[in-house]
Amino acid sequence: MSLIKRLLFPSYKSDKKPQTGQPSDRSSYYPEQKLPVDEKFTYHFRNNGGKFIYCEDWEEALEAFDNIMVENDWYEQDVFCLEEQLRQRFDGFNLKFVNKSDSKFFLSTCESLVAKTGAILLSSNQVKEKKLNELPDSMIILAKTSQIVENISEGLRIIKNQSSGYIPSNITTIQDFETDKEDKEKDFMSYGSSTKNLYLLLLEDL
């Protein structure tokens, strides 16, 4: 099944009946079936409570962004955004771009999307030296399908390669997006984090 169908129709099931010996008939002792990284990320991200919007092109991304603004009544509000390119991209939405942590929401790109945990990998390129609990509770993250990686190690390797060997400081992950979940297990990469209301606009670029 194609990426678009998997993301837009997560409940999709094949009409073909499974044959004996296929994964649906396997005992619990068989190893878990390996999923493609895009499907794995989508599953874990949604399971973490993230709000996922797939966009085929930039026009759809702008439309989705507008819908989020209307849904949350965020027009004419302060937006915490540290990336000049994003400020220019969304200049026509009547927003006030500031460097204030108490803004209505945080607008940002990211380094990678981690399939294994459904996490968003960020660095000082997006958040400077801010800790996650110092950022607004609501976030809109823009990413591309090519940024989906299997695990954090792969994401760190990409950061290093793109930075000519220089590793940005303050590398962290967000993977807790449900405010009603308590005692959620976190790894060392999400130290100092807090639960976030996060929208992901995923733009197709493959």
Calculate mean pLDDT across residues 29-50: 82
Helix, coil or strand: residue 130: coil
Domain that holds residue 68: 35-179+186-203
DSSP state of 6: H
What are the φ/ψ torsions at residue 15 (nearest 5 degrees)? -80, -15
**26 against 33, higher pLDDT:** 33
Q: Is residue 114 part of a domain?
A: yes
Q: Is residue 13 part of a domain?
A: no
Distance CA 182, CA 176 (A): 10
Distance CA 206, CA 31 (A): 30
DSSP state of 97: E
Residues with Cβ within 8 Å of residue 41, at least 6 apart in sequence: 113, 114, 115, 118, 148
Q: Is residue 111 part of a domain?
A: yes
pLDDT of residue 2: 43
Q: Is residue 112 part of a domain?
A: yes
pLDDT tens profile 71-126: 999 999 999 999 999 999 999 899 999 988 899 999 999 999 999 999 999 999 99
User: For tokens 């990686």, what's the residue?
Assistant: 149
Spell out where 109-203 has E strands: 112-114, 119-122, 138-144, 148-149, 172-174, 197-203
Q: Is residue 8 part of a domain?
A: no
Q: Is residue 190 part of a domain?
A: yes
Instruction: Kindly calculate the radius of gyration of the chain based on its CA atoms and give it in whole angstroms.
Output: 18
Q: Is residue 166 part of a domain?
A: yes
Structure tokens that stand for 149 in this block: 């990686």
DSSP per-residue codes, 38-77: HHHHHHHHHHTT-EEEEESSHHHHHHHHHHHHHHHT-TTS
- Point out which residues pair with 138 in neighbouring strands: 197
- Point out which residues pair with 139 in neighbouring strands: 106, 198
The CATH number linked to 61 is 3.40.50.10420
Distance CA 16, CA 164 (A): 49
Question: Is the pLDDT confidence value at 143 over 50?
Answer: yes
- Ranking 43-47, 60-64, 125-129, 193-197 by mean pLDDT, the lowest is 193-197
Q: Which helix (H) or strand (E) holds 78?
A: strand 78-80
pLDDT tens profile 147-166: 999 999 999 999 988 877 67
Count of structural domains within the chain: 1
Q: Is residue 150 part of a domain?
A: yes
